Every structure is written in C-alpha cells, then in structure tokens.
Structure 1
Amino acid sequence: MPIRPEHRWLYPIDWRELSALVRFQRAKGRCEHCGRPHGVKVRHLGDGRWYDEERRCWRDDRGRRLRGHASPDRLPKQLRMVELAGDMVPPRTRVVLASAHLDHDPGNNHQRNLAALCQRCHLAHDRPEHRRQRWATLFRRRASGDLFLGAYR
C-alpha cells in the first residue's frame, strides 16, 4: 500500500529492502495469512474462497484446504463468470503482497511486527484502523464547520 506523505518520515530509509526481505525471503512470496502467491491472478468466488492452481485445490480466506469443491472448470457458469464493464469475464484477481505493520505503528519495524499480506488480508487487517481514521476525519470536519461556518452538513 502506498505510504501517506505525512507518515513517510516514520519509515526507515531502507524500507524498500526491509519490505522485500519480509515479503520474498521470509514469506517466500505468499501471503502469511491466506497463502495467496504474489503476482499471480487467482480465481476466487468473492467470499474469500480461492483456487490454488499450484496444488489444484480450493482454499478458504485463511488458506485452509476446502474439500468437496469442484475444479473451476466444473463450476456452474454463474460462478465461473462475472460481469465487468458489460463483459462477462472469469472472476480473477492479481495478488500483490505488501508489508503490513501488525500494530498499525509505522515506527515499529521489528520483524515480528511485520507481515507479508495480500491486498485482501491487508484491508481486512486494517479495517478497524480505517474505521477509526474515518471517524476522526468526520469529527474534525464537523468541528471545523461548527467553528467557522456554522452547522456542518
């Protein structure tokens, strides 16, 4: 995920190297929560289940193997195709790994505080923090509006 300009000074100078070390050497190019491989387009069902082409099996949102699911080619057509910009395309997502701070503190760069997460797991991990930030932003806007412009709408 991109680093906010106001937080850039919290990261060490060698952040790119540290991030690459976590993502590709320690995690071996796979998400540490669900196991999705970096840089690959994976088939998914939209609810966290995805097809692991390498091991030829379906996995859940935590990377555990699911039994009793058909191969992607044998799925009903409704599940094999989704509408995107008026076209029917197979539901695939390119996986991109990012280094996530598990305690949401960009100044804490210890190895045990960093995890290689795909975009889906990273957003799920950061959801409470995003909610808190959204509340703070709306609170600030409302307070500023009351102070200078009257009631904020």
Structure 2
Amino acid sequence: MPIRREHRFFYPIDWPQLSAVIRFGRAGGWCEGCGRPHGRVIHHLGDGRWWDADTGTWRDGRGKALVVLPELDELIGRLRTTRVVLATAHRNHDTSNNADQNLAAFCQRCHMIHDRPEHQRRRWRTLFRRRASGDLFRGPYQPTH
C-alpha cells in the first residue's frame, strides 16, 4: 500500500529494502494472513474464500482449506478475480518499531482488515476536528447529506 505523503517521515530511509526482505525473504512471496501468492491473479468470492490453484482447493480468509465447498450458484454469481500484491504492515501500527516480529507480509485484503481499527480511529478524529472547527468558526455543526 502506498505511504501517504504526511506519514512518510515516520518510515526509515531503507523502508523499501526492509519491506522486500519481509515480503519475499521471510514470507517467501505469500501472505502471512491468508496464504495468497504475490503477483498472481486469483479467483475469489469476495468474502475471503479464494481458489488456490497450486493445490486445487478452496481456502477461507485465513488460508485454511475449506471442508464445505461453495455451491455452484455461489460461483456463477459471485466469482471475481484480483491480482494479489503484498505489502509490509506494522502489527502494532507503530511505524517507529521495525523489529522483525512487529512486521508482517499481508495481501491487500488482510492489510485492510488489520488496519480497520486504526482507519476508524483516524476517521473519527478527522470528523471530530471538522466539527470542532465548524463550531468554533461557523457556529454549531450542521451535517450535510
């Protein structure tokens, strides 16, 4: 995932090399959350279940082989494809802690799920600041729809 301009100074200067070591050295080019392979186009159902062409099995959102396979009507109506791209995530969201155990190689889906609480926190802070600024300079906040 691209690093926002305002957050770039939180990352070390050698972040691209460190990220490559985690994604391809330690993880071997596979997502550490669900096992999806980097750079490949995979078939998925949009709810975490995906087709592992290497083993010929359906897997769940954590990479475990499914015991109950998707029904045919689920496949026809919902089958999608996506290219998997790995990114390095900070497990504790602290960009100054670049210890090996704090870094993880995640695909786009796993990275977004992992970062969801942090994104919600930031969204709340942004809304709170906008409301406070509006109350301070323009009177009580009036939500727009």
TM-score under structure 2 length normalisation: 0.92
1:38 partner SS: coil
Q: Is the 8 A contact 1:22 1:114 kept in 2?
A: yes
Residue of structure 2 equivalent to 1:7:
7
Residue of structure 1 equivalent to 2:65:
65
Is 2:91 the partner of 1:102?
A: yes
> Counting strand residues as a fraction of each chain, which structure ranks higher?
1
Q: What percent identity do the matched residue pairs reach?
A: 61
Which consecutive residues of structure 1, in runs of 5 or more, have no partner in the other structure? 83-89
1:66 partner SS: coil
CA distance in 2, matches of 1:4, 1:13: 15
Residue of structure 1 equivalent to 2:54:
54
CA positional deviation for 1:78: 5.3
CA positional deviation for 1:77: 5.3
Is 2:8 the partner of 1:19?
A: no
Q: Is the 8 A contact 1:81 1:91 kept in 2?
A: no
**Partner letter of residue 115 of structure 1?**
A
Residue of structure 1 equivalent to 2:111:
122
1:65 partner SS: coil
Encode CA deviations 1:81-129: one digit per residue, 9 max, x unaligned: 55xxxxxxx5111111000000001111111100000000000001111
Q: Is the 8 A contact 1:80 1:91 kept in 2?
A: no
Residue of structure 2 equivalent to 1:144:
133
TM-score under structure 1 length normalisation: 0.87
RMSD over aligned Cα atoms:
1.4
CA distance in 2, matches of 1:68, 1:149: 57
Equivalenced residue count is 142
1:47 partner SS: coil
Q: Is the 8 A contact 1:38 1:97 kept in 2?
A: yes
CA positional deviation for 1:22: 0.3
**Partner letter of residue 99 of structure 1?**
T
